[in-house]
Amino acid sequence: MMLEYRVTAHRIDSHGFEARAKAATITLDADMAGRDDAINPAEMLLASLAA
């Protein structure tokens, strides 16, 4: 059985994006300086591999 997901993302400001899938929302970091309230792409990849 193949699972399908719909993920949408939009820029919330010049430093990040907000991604949504079903009822989940996550703020993604797009700034080289980093954001305390967001996950950067490398952290997202490592978290998904660990799951």
pLDDT tens digits, 11-40: 998 888 898 998 989 888 887 777 777 777
Q: Does any domain span residue 2?
A: no
Residue 41 has pLDDT above 80, yes or no: no
How many domains are there within the chain? Answer: 1
Q: 7-13 and 16-21 as β-strands: parallel, antiparallel, unpaired?
A: antiparallel
Q: Does any domain span residue 38?
A: yes
Q: Does any domain span residue 31?
A: yes
pTM score, two decimals? 0.62
Q: Does any domain span residue 1?
A: no
Q: Which domain holds residue 38?
A: 7-50
Cα end-to-end span (Å), the chain: 19
